[in-house]
Every structure is written in C-alpha cells, then in structure tokens.
Amino acid sequence: MQFPSVAPPPTIPKEMVSHLTVANWPITLEKTTLTDAQRRFGGSIGQSGDAGEFLQWLCLYKRNAEDGWVLWLTSGEIDGGSIGGFVWLHMSAAQRIDSRCTELNAEKATVMLPIPLKLNMTRDTVEQLLGKPSGRFHETFTYLHEHKGTIRHAPYTWENSIDIVYKRELVQAIQVDLTISY
C-alpha cells in the first residue's frame, strides 16, 4: 500500500469498522490487546521502529488448495498495546508465509467485519457499500471518517480509515485503522 504524505479530507459520514471477529473471537479496536490475541491464537508478536514509527503485530493466516489470506493485527505507539487496526491480504496458494505467523483452523478461520467488506469483492461492490473514496494514491483507495466528541468531559477526535488495494478490479488488500486522540 502506498500513502500520500498528507491524508485526504474525511468524506465518509459514519464510522465504518471499529471491531471485527476472527475465528469466532471478537476484537474491539482500541480495547482488545495484542497480548490477549496472542493468548487466544498463539504466535509471536513482532515489532519494528521506535517512537512515532513503533509498530507491533500478530500474524494469522488461512490457506487452502486454491488461495488464502493473511491477517496482521497491529498496534502502534498511539494504541498503547491495544489493537488499533489490521491489514488483511489475499494470497495465492504458492506464497510463502513467515514462520512467526499462526495458521488458523480451516473450519473456523473466518474474518468478519461489521460491514460486508471482504477480500475479492469487486470495486463496484465496494463503492456501492462505502461510496466514493475520500482519496486515491496510486493503487490505494482511502475511505476516511472523522468525528469529534467528549469522553469524561475531555475532547477527542475519532478517526476511522479503510485503505483498499485492487488487483484486476478485485479487493486484494484491506487495511483498517481506528485512532482516538485526545
């Protein structure tokens, strides 16, 4: 995925994805911790960078004879150990997977979002679901929602973004981030 140095203005009127379910286990972004996910699924938590570039992740995947997917649950510095987003990527049956990734039981290996967005959807179907993207940078289409509010009398900004990459007009990758900043 490629991103511009400045995010596009938010154009999506409502929050899109604040939670997901992986193998029948609910994950609430900004609440469920990466260590809780590791206890549930196993695997190793990876990390890179420092300060504002710090990122931790837990990698899960599903594979069958034809294809599969890989899912990285991510936590940046601003997330404080909570899962703040994820990257969900379609893969071919021949692609190699990092040994630190955990393979999910094939029967239960599902990823469910609160909206009917999934890998291999057509671009037309995505646009029927989400509308026109807030911006596009190369082959990455960005949908951005933002609203302000208060939590315990303190002001905050809630940002929810979905970035989508297409290959031959089909969703190849989905990245979701939720950021609550005070």
pLDDT at 151 > cutoff 90: no
Average pLDDT, the chain: 92
pTM summary value: 0.92
| Percent of the chain surpassing pLDDT 90 | 73
50 pLDDT band (50/70/90 cuts)?
confident
Structure tokens at 4: 């511009």
Q: List the beta bridge partners of residue 174.
A: 88, 164
Is residue 62 within 8 Å of 69, Cβ to Cβ? yes
CA atoms within 13 A on the CB side of 67: 8
| Percent of the chain surpassing pLDDT 70 | 99
Q: Where are the alpha helices (DSSP H) in 2-112?
A: 34-41
